[in-house]
Amino acid sequence: MLLSTTDTLAGKEIVETIGLVKGNSVQSRNVGRDMIAGLRNIVGGEMKEYAEMLVRSREIATQAMEEEARRLGANAIVGVRFSTSSVMDGTSEVLAYGTAVRVKE
């Protein structure tokens, strides 16, 4: 599956636009992770535990988006974007979305 943040793929011809595809992941915080991050919040520094959680969440959301595109017969997704939001206290959602297309192979 080809992914692009642009609306075109260099060297590829889009022969069909299939439509919007998306995938999301909702992750909750972990008590142990919160304690370590809380200490980092006091002394400063990168909160690696949360960064790693968001990386995993983006990967899960991207995979779900790709699976939806494959089910629709796409072989590429253009205009890929990510959105992050807080669903409720202690949880975050990552949404991946884009336009599923078929490119000439």
The predicted-structure confidence for 65-86, as pLDDT tens digits, reads as follows 999 999 999 999 999 999 988 7
**Inter-residue contact 79 to 22 (CB < 8 Å):** no
| Pure H helices in 7-105 | 31-43, 48-71
Per-residue pLDDT band for 46 (boundaries 50, 70, 90) equals low
* Token pair 């992770």 in the structure block, residue: 33
Q: What are phi and psi of 63, to 5 degrees?
A: -60, -40
Tokens for 3?
Answer: 């992914």
Q: What is the pLDDT of residues 1-22, one digit of tens each?
A: 999 999 999 999 999 999 999 9
Tokens for 2?
Answer: 């080809």
The reported pTM is 0.81
* pLDDT of res. 47: 63
**Inter-residue contact 23 to 64 (CB < 8 Å):** yes
